[in-house]
Amino acid sequence: MPVRLVRPLVVLGALSASSPALAQTAPVAQPDRAPAATEGAPPAAPAEAVAAAEPVVAPPKNEGDNPYFPVTTRRRYGFTLGLEGGANVTRAEGSGMQFTARTTPTSTGAAFGTGQSLWIGGVFTDWFSFHLGMTFNRASVGDHEISGTGFMFGLETWPLFARGGVFRDLGLGLDFGTGTAEVRSKARDKVEADGGGMSMVRASVFWDAVSAWKLNLGPFVAYERRTGEVYSQDLAWLGVRAVFYGVNRR
């Protein structure tokens, strides 16, 4: 090749090598990629799915017969139905109530009679229960006949239950409510004292001495006071009670 052609070509090559526009662009770095999953392995679950799939541990259950309170019931629990009956000594005094005036006061003195009470309720623990019920009584002395009917709300407790033995079934009761009562002359068939709308309160001590299945039997003693606008009555009770509880006694 002639020398005059070679020199321009050398100069042109040097210029092209030093020009940025003609320089070769460097490859752009690519972001790191996650390694390919192993062939045959299941895909990884999202974090939310993993948290939702964790098993929920149920809270521990309470022991014993009572699923709602953290106590073990051994003598009484749940539904209760009771019936008691016995003899009473009573004394009533008062007068009849008319629209304009009261009649002549009457006092019966001591009278002997009988009565019954029936109730239904619930038991939370071995040492506490409540109930709603009715009570009836009748007594007579000389020409006087005494009768009464009451509606009552009652509470029962076994305060010495923790001492064990016989104390587990020795209880105290308190009933209060309202009702009607009267003193009637048998000879004249006339009301001599009227206790309509009276209030009543009764305190009792009882012992669930014998148990058969869920039925408990035992004696009780009680004192009851009834008062009204023109009537008052005191009763002393001695009798036997039978109470059904929701569990077998242990």
Q: Is 144 exposed, middle or buried (0-12, 13-18, 19+ CB in 10 A)?
A: buried
Note whether 148 and 179 are within 8 A (CB): yes
Topology of the domain comprising 79-244: Porin (2.40.160)
Residue 54 neighbours by CB under 8 Å, 6+ apart: none
For residue 14, what are its two tokens?
Answer: 């040097």
Residue 22, pLDDT above cutoff 50: no
The band of 70, judged by pLDDT with boundaries at 50, 70 and 90, is low
For residue 46, what are its two tokens?
Answer: 């999202």
**Model confidence pLDDT, tens digit, residues 164-208:** 889 999 999 999 999 999 999 998 888 889 888 899 999 999 999
For residue 72, how many other CB atoms are within 10 A of its CB?
14
More confident residue, 185 or 247: 185
For residue 82, what are its two tokens?
Answer: 């009771």
Domains of the chain: which residue ranges?
Answer: 79-244
The band of 56, judged by pLDDT with boundaries at 50, 70 and 90, is low
In 126-214, which ranges are E strands?
Answer: 128-141, 144-157, 170-185, 190-194, 198-207, 210-212
Task: Count Cα neighbours of 179 within 13 Å in the Cβ-side half-sphere.
Answer: 23
pTM of the prediction? 0.68
